[in-house]
A and B are shown apart, each in its own frame.
Chain A
Amino acid sequence: MNFNSLRYCLRQSREALKRNFWLALVTSCIIAVSLIILGGFLLLAVNVAQVMRDVQSNVEICVFLYDDADQDWLAGELQRLEGVETIRFVSKEEGLAEFGRSLGDAALLAGLQGENNPLPDAFRVTVTDAELVPALAQTMRELEGVEMAEYGEEFVGELLKITGWINRFLVVVGLLLALGAVFLIVTTIRLSLMARREEIGIMKYLGASDWFVRFPFLLEGLAMGWLGNIVAVFVLAVVYGKVASTLQQDAFAFFLRPVTSPEQLLPVFLGLLLLGTCMGGFGSLISLHKFLRV
Chain B
Amino acid sequence: MISLQNVTKIYPGSASPALDQITLDIEKGEFVFLVGPSGAGKSTLIKLLFRELLPTKGEIYFFGRNLARLDKKALLNHRRQIGMVFQDFRLLKQKTVFENVAFALEVLGKPPKEIEFKVAEVLEKVGLAGKEKAFPEELSGGEQQRVGVARALVKDPLLLLADEPTGNLDRNTSRQLMELLETLNAEGTTMVIATHAWDLVDRMQKRVISLNQGRLVRDEKRGTYGHEF
Number of A-B contacts (CB under 8 A): 44
Q: Which residues of B contact A204 (CB under 8 A)?
A: 79
Q: Could you tell me if A202 and B109 are in contact, using CB atoms closer than 8 angstroms?
A: no
How far is the CB of A18 from the nearest CB of chain B, in Å? Answer: 13
Residue A8 at the chain B interface, CB threshold 8 Å:
yes
Closest to B82 in A: A207
Q: Which of B73-116 contact A (CB under 8 A)?
A: 76, 79-80, 82, 84, 90, 92, 103-104, 106-112
**Which interface residue of A198, A199, A208 has the most chain B CB atoms within 10 A?**
A208
Residue B196 at the chain A interface, CB threshold 8 Å:
no
Q: Which residues of B contact A151 (CB under 8 A)?
A: none
* Interchain CB contact (< 8 A) of A202 among B72, B92, B112, B155: B92
Q: Could you tell me if A202 and B106 are in contact, using CB atoms closer than 8 angstroms?
A: no
Q: Which residues of B contact A209 (CB under 8 A)?
A: 76
Bound CA–CA A85/B103 (angstroms): 79
How far is the CB of A153 from the nearest CB of chain B, in Å? Answer: 64
Q: Could you tell me if A4 and B103 are in contact, using CB atoms closer than 8 angstroms?
A: no
The A interface is mostly helix, strand or loop, or mixed, namely helix
Closest to A205 in B: B84
Digitize A192-214: 1 where CB-to-B-CB distance is under 8 Å, 0 elsewhere.
00000011011111111110100
Q: Could you tell me if B111 and A206 are in contact, using CB atoms closer than 8 angstroms?
A: no
Bound CA–CA A201/B84 (angstroms): 12
Q: Could you tell me if B107 and A212 are in contact, using CB atoms closer than 8 angstroms?
A: yes
Residue A5 at the chain B interface, CB threshold 8 Å:
yes
Q: Which of A1-43 contact B (CB under 8 A)?
A: 1-2, 4-5, 8
Closest to B93 in A: A198
Q: Could you tell me if A1 and B107 are in contact, using CB atoms closer than 8 angstroms?
A: no
Bound CA–CA A210/B76 (angstroms): 9
Q: Could you tell me if B108 and A207 are in contact, using CB atoms closer than 8 angstroms?
A: yes
Bound CA–CA A218/B104 (angstroms): 22
Q: Could you tell me if B109 and A2 are in contact, using CB atoms closer than 8 angstroms?
A: yes
Q: Could you tell me if A206 and B104 are in contact, using CB atoms closer than 8 angstroms?
A: yes
Closest to A1 in B: B109
Q: Could you tell me if A203 and B107 are in contact, using CB atoms closer than 8 angstroms?
A: yes
Closest to B86 in A: A205
Closest to A5 in B: B109
Chain A residues with a Cβ under 8 A of chain B: 1-2, 4-5, 8, 198-199, 201-210, 212
Chain B residues with a Cβ under 8 A of chain A: 50, 72, 76, 79-80, 82, 84, 90, 92, 103-104, 106-112, 151, 155
22 contacts between A and B (CB under 8 A): A4-B106, A4-B109, A4-B110, A4-B112, A8-B106, A8-B107, A198-B90, A198-B92, A201-B90, A205-B50, A205-B90, A206-B103, A206-B104, A206-B151, A206-B155, A207-B76, A207-B80, A207-B107, A207-B108, A209-B76, A212-B107, A212-B109
